[in-house]
Amino acid sequence: LNQIGISLSVVGAILLPFSLFLFPLLEKCFGSIVTFQILIFLQMFCIVLLPNLHFLVPLNQPVVLWTLLCLLMCLIRIGISIGFAATALFINNSVTFDKLGSVNGLAMTMTSAFRIVSPIFAGSVYSASLSKTTRSLGFPVNYHMIFIIFGFILFIVVIMTSLLPKSINNQKVVEEETHL
């Protein structure tokens, strides 16, 4: 239990400067869409790799295992953090100032709804993948299945963001009407 806390504190210590300094720099250089796509694609790769970590580490090498685990968890958490930040930018840049409150309210409602549904879905799929009947089917219907599903969902998100207009990288401006 202590080791999990240490690994999560390492992730938090790395995430803070990344969120404060590196994300704004990447967003300024590449735009929010490309930054989002790169980091979500990296997150997808790390999530699919996570259940296979024990295959990559030689036996009796806990230092290598924990180093790789912390690295993967950092990349996953960075992807999540940047995902939320970029999504907030997408939402704020997609509407004019007068509609911003309504759109942010809708976005928060949908986020809350999916935070209810997602653990139920993921927990059910993971539990089903550990049952005797599905475990006997082998890969990919074993404990890898939920990680593959998450990877697939993230891949779909990357494809969907490529359909966003490039104007979403910049804030919408309202042209003021001139009355004669």
> Looking only at Cα atoms, what is the longest distance across the chain?
81
**Residue owning tokens 């968890």:** 73
Q: What would the pLDDT profile of 21-72 be if each residue is shown by its tens digit? A: 888 888 889 888 998 899 899 999 988 888 888 777 776 777 787 888 888 8
Which pLDDT belongs to residue 63? 79
Q: Is the pTM of this model over 0.85?
A: no
Predicted local confidence at residue 176, as pLDDT: 55
* Residues of the chain where predicted confidence (pLDDT) is lower than 50: none
